A and B are shown apart, each in its own frame.
Chain A
Amino acid sequence: MKSFLTMFIALSAINTDLYAAEAGMPQLDPTYWASQGFWLILIFTILYISISKFYLPKIKDNLDNRENKIKEDLENANKFKEQSETKLKEYEIILENAKKEVSKIHFESKNILDKEIQSKKDIIEKEIEKELVKAQKDIIELKKNSISSIQKISENIVANIIENISGEKLNESSIRAAVEDISKKNIGKYL
C-alpha cells in the first residue's frame, strides 16, 4: 500500500515535469548490475568469513564462559547453603543441649538450696522453741516470786496502816492469814 502510494507520488511528480526529468527507476538501469553483484558477493563473502571465523566463536566463547561461571557460582552457592544449614542444625543441637544442662543445673542447685534452707530453718525453729519454753518458765517464776513479795509488802503495809490507825500491834500471823485470804480471792484478776 505504502509502496504504491509512493510510486504514485513519484511517478506523478516525474510525469508532470515537476522535477528535472530523469529515467524512472535507477534500479532498473542494468549498467552497473554486474558491478553491484560482483562487489556484493566479494564484500559479503569477506564479511561472512570474518564473522564466522573470528567474531562468532569469540562471542560464543564469551557467552559460554558466562553461563559456566553462573552455573559454577550457583553450585557453589548451593553448596555453601547446605553447609550453613548443617552448621545451623549443629548449632541448634548444641544450643538445645546447653539449655537442658542449664535447666538441670538450675534444678539441682535449687534442690540443694531448698534442703539447706529447710534444715537451717528447722534448727532455728527448735532453738526458738527452746528459748520460748525457757522464757515462759522464767515468766512463771517471776510471777510466783512477785506474788510472794507482793504478799509480804501488803502484810507490812497492812500492819503499818493498822498500827497508825488504831495504835495497836496486831498479831503477824493473823495479818498474814487475812492478806493470803484476800490475795487468794483476787489473784485470778492479775494472773
Chain B
Amino acid sequence: MASNPMQQFTVHKIGPEIKIAGIDLSFTNASLFMIISASVILLFLFLGSKEKNIIPNKIQLIAEMFYTFVAKMISDTAGSKAKPYFPFIFSLFMFVLFCNMVGMLPYSFTVTSHIIVTLIMALFIFIAVTIIGFLKHGFKYLSIFVPSGVPAVLLPLITVIEIISYLSRPVSLSVRLFANMMAGHTMLKVFGGFVVSLGVLGGWLPLSFSVALTGLEILVAFLQAYVFAILTCIYLNDALNLHH
C-alpha cells in the first residue's frame, strides 16, 4: 500500500523511444509536465494581456502584478543596465514558479525536483553571466575576485575564496532549488504514508501535519522561484556593474 516516498521522482517514458545519434531523448513525464507548466504560463499571459483595459480585470491585474514584481526585482538588484535581460529573468521566474506550483498538485510531477534540470538552468545562467561580464569589461572582469579595501596580507586568501565562491554559484543555485523541492515533496509523501498506515484512529495528526506542510510547500514553491530569479539578478548585477 505505502510506496517509496522517492518513487514520485522517477522519470518514465511516455510514448515511443526517440533516439538521436545514440542519445535517448524520449518524451517522458518530466517533459510532459514542462509542457504543462509552459502552457499554463502562456495561457495565463494570453488571458492576462488579451484585453487592453484601462481598469484591468482580475487576470490582467495578476499578470501585470507579475510583470511589475519582476521588473522591480531587476531594477532594485541589477539597475537599469539589466533591462535587456528582463524577458529572460521573467521567463525563468515564471517557469520555475509554475513548475513548482504544478508540482504541488497531487499525482503530478515536479520538474524542478530534478538536479539535472536545475543544474542545466544554473549552468546556463553561470556561463551567460560570465560571458556578459567578459564582454562588458574585458579582462577587468577578473577584478571581481579581488575585493577592494582588503589588507595585502589577506589578499591571496580572499582571492582564492572569491574564486571558489564564484565557481560554486551554479552548484549552490541548482542544489538549493532541487533540494528544497525534493525535500518538501518527500516530506509530504512520508506524512501521507503515515496517514494511511495509522488509519482512521491515529491518522489525524499526520494529516494535519500534511495540511500545514502543503501550505508551507506552496510558500516554498514561490520563495524558491523568487530566490532563483533574484540570485540570477544579483549575478547579473556583478557582471554588469563592477563594484570592486
Residue numbers of A with Cβ under 8 A of B are 2-3, 5-7, 9-10, 13-14, 18-22, 24-29, 31-41, 43-44, 46-48, 50-52, 55-56, 58-63, 65-66, 69
What separation, in Å, do the CA atoms of A7 and B179 have in the docked complex?
Answer: 10
Q: How far is the CA of A13 from the CA of B30 in the complex (A)?
A: 25
Contact of A3 among B18, B121, B179 (CB under 8 A): B179
Contact across chains for A62 and B190 when beta carbons are under 8 A apart: no
B interface secondary structure, majority: helix
Cα–Cα distance between A92 and B178 once the two chains are bound (Å): 73
Alpha-carbon gap, A191 to B200, bound state (A): 138
- Knowing A27-B114, A48-B87 are in contact, say whether A32-B24 is a contact too (CB < 8 A): yes
Interface of A: prevailing SS: helix
Q: List residues 178-202 of chain B with CB under 8 A from any CB of chain A.
A: 178-180, 182-184, 186-187, 190, 193
Q: How far, in angstroms, from A139 to B87 measured CA to CA in the complex?
A: 124
* Alpha-carbon distance between A156 and B48 when the two chains are bound, in angstroms: 138
Q: Are A32 and B26 in contact (CB under 8 A)?
A: yes
Asked whether A40 lies within 8 Å of B120 as measured between CB atoms, the reply is: yes
Flag if A22 contacts B4 (CB, 8 Å). Answer: yes
CB distance from B63 to the nearest CB of A (A): 6
List residues of chain A with CB within 8 A of the CB of B162.
none
Counting residue pairs across A and B whose Cβ atoms lie within 8 Å, the total is 168
User: Hey, which chain B residues are within 8 Å of A39, CB to CB?
Assistant: 25, 27-28, 30-31, 34
Q: Enumerate chain B residues within 8 angstroms of A37, measured Cβ to Cβ.
A: 116-117, 120
Listed in ascending order, the chain B residues whose CB lies under 8 Å from chain A are 2-7, 9-11, 13, 18, 23-28, 30-31, 34-35, 38, 41-42, 45-46, 48-49, 52, 54, 56, 60, 63-64, 67-68, 86-88, 90-91, 94-95, 111, 113-117, 120-121, 178-180, 182-184, 186-187, 190, 193
Taking CB atoms, residues of chain A closer than 8 Å to B48 are 55, 59
Give the Cβ gap from B168 to chain A, nearest Cβ, in Å: 18
Residue of A nearest to B22 (CB): A34
A47 CB contact (under 8 Å) in B3, B42, B111: B42
The reply to whether A43 and B35 form a contact with Cβ atoms under 8 Å apart is yes
Asked if A9 contacts B91 (CB within 8 A), the reply is no
Per the bound structure, the CA–CA distance linking A13 and B64 in Å amounts to 45
On chain B, the residues within 8 Å of A34 by CB distance are 23-25
* Given the contacts A58-B49, A63-B64, A33 and B116 also touching, CB distance less than 8 Å: yes
Q: Which residues of A contact B38 (CB under 8 A)?
A: 43-44, 46-47
A10 with B6: CB separation less than 8 A: yes
Q: Given A7, A28, A31, which contacts B115 in the complex, CB threshold below 8 Å? A: A28
